[in-house]
Amino acid sequence: MTPRHTPLRVQLALGFCLLLSALLLLAFLAVYRDTRASLYQTLDRDLLSLARTEVSSAIDGPNGGPHFHNQTGPHQGVLFQPNGLILAATSSLSPEQARQMVERGQAAPMELSFQTVDNDRLLTMKAPLPGLPLARLVMRMPLQPVWQNLREVRFTLAWWGILSTLLGSFVAWLLAVRLTRPVERVAGLAERVIGGHTGERLTLSGESSEVHQLQSSLNQMLDELELRAAQQRQFVADASHELRNPLHALQGTLEVARRRPRSTQEYEESIDIALVETRRLSRLVGDLLELSRSDLERLELRRERVDLLDLLQACGQAHSGRAAQLGLHLQIEGESRPAQLDPTRIRQILDNLVDNALRHSPPGGTVCLRLHDDGLVEVLDEGESLEPKEYERIFGRFARLDDSRQRHSGGLGLGLAIARSLVEAHGGQLRAEARSGGGSRFFFRVEKGA
C-alpha cells in the first residue's frame, strides 16, 4: 500500500501559520507584560502621590492632631508609630483591618516599599510629623481596576490574534499555492513523460529566477534524454541490421551446402565462407560488448609503465602486411616516451585508427604514426578530407559517411567509437581534423605521469 504524503502546499501553509502564530504569541505576551507593568507603575505613582499629600496635610486639622484629609477615595491608610501605636486611620477601616495594615507596615522596609497583598496594592513609607519623627504611613488601594484593564487587554489581544491568524492563514495558503504551482507543473510533466509523452516540455515562466532555472534545466534534461533514447533506438536498429547480415550469409551458405551432395573442395569453400562470416559476427559482438561496458563505465584499465613508441612500432609491424597489400607505405615517427598506461587498450586504439586510415587511403599513399615529445599521438592518412562537422559524426556508432565504401572495405562503423571510449577511459580526448595538404589527422593524448 502506497503511503499517503501531505501535499507540499499544505505543509508550507501550516508551517507559515505556525510561525505566524508563534510570532504573534510572543508579540502579544510582550505587549501584555509591558501593559501590566505600565498599569502597576501608574497605580504606584498615584498611590505615592496620594500618600505624600496625606502626610503633608496630616496635622492641618482644627485640633492640630494627625488625621487623614481624604476620607472618600478608594484608598485606605493608617499613620502609626514604630511600636504599633495607631496615630490616625481612614474611617472606612475597622480596628481589626487597621491593626492588620500596621502589622504589614511594620514588616516592610523602613524607607519606601510597594507590595501586593491579596487584592490590594500596599505602600509603606516614612511619614515624619512634628513631634513624631519616626511616624510611618501604610496605604492600600484596590487592584480591581488594574485587573479589569488587563482583562480587556487580554480580550483585545486574543481577538486580534485570532483575526491575524485567520488572515495570515489565508495569505499563507495563497502564497503556498503560488509557490507550489511550478512544482506541480513539473510533477505533472514527469507523469506524462512516464506515460510516453516524451515530446512535451514546460513553458518557461517569469515567476522567479529559481523557477525559471528549474524549468529550463528540466527541459534540457528531457531533450538530452530524448536524444539519448533516439540514439539508443538507432543503435539497436543498426546493431540488429549488422547482426542480421552475417547471420543471413551464414544461414544461406549452410543451406546451399545441404541442398545436394558436394565435393570436398566445394564443402571447404562453403566452410571458408561460413568461417569468414562467423569471424565477422564474433568481431561485431565483441565490439558491441566493448561499447556497452564503456556506457556502463566498466572498462577495466590495467596501467603499467610502458614505452609509447614501442606500442606504435608493434602496431606498425602488425599492419605492415596489409599496408603492403593495399600499396600503402606505413611510417613510424617519434622517440622513446615512457608513460603509465594500459598497453592493451592503447594498442586497441592504435589498431582501430590505423585500420581506419588504411581503409581510406588511396594506393601509393602513406599512413604515418607519429609520437611527439609531449605524449601526443597522431595517425595521419592521405585519404579524402571531410567537412569539419563530419569529423564529429564519424565517432558515432555505426557511422558511415560513404555506406557503400565502408561495406566494401569491411568496416562496421564501430572502430572509431570504441577508440574514443577507450581514450576517454584514460582521461583523454580523441579528435580528428582535416590536413592542410589533404587527408585526415587523428590525435590524442592519454598518458598519466610519464
On the question of pLDDT at 200 being above 80, the answer is no
Task: Give yes or no for a contact between 416 and 354, defined as CB atoms under 8 angstroms apart.
Answer: no
Q: What is the DSSP letter of 417?
A: H
CA count, 13 A, side-chain hemisphere, 297? 1
**Structure confidence at residue 51 (pLDDT):** 86
Cell 491575524, residue?
164
Average pLDDT over the chain, rounded to an integer: 81
On the question of pLDDT at 412 being above 60, the answer is no
On the question of pLDDT at 245 being above 70, the answer is no
**Structure confidence at residue 122 (pLDDT):** 92
Range with top average pLDDT, 1-10, 45-54, 99-108, 326-335: 326-335
Q: Report, as an integer, the average pLDDT of 82-91.
A: 87
For helices 415-425 and 264-295, the axis angle rounded to 10 degrees is: 40
392 against 72, higher pLDDT: 392
Q: What is the Cα–Cα distance from 137 to 238, expressed in whole angstroms?
A: 111
* Domain annotation for the chain: domains and CATH numbers: 209-295 (1.10.287.130), 304-444 (3.30.565.10)
Predicted structure pTM score: 0.49
State percent of the chain over pLDDT 70. 82
Range with top average pLDDT, 2-6, 277-281, 351-355: 351-355
State percent of the chain over pLDDT 90. 25
**Distances in whole angstroms, Cα of residue 81 to Cα of each of 43, 125, 360:** 26, 12, 128
On the question of pLDDT at 109 being above 90, the answer is no
Task: Give yes or no for a contact between 434 and 388, defined as CB atoms under 8 angstroms apart.
Answer: yes
Residue ranges with strand state E in 127-271: 136-142
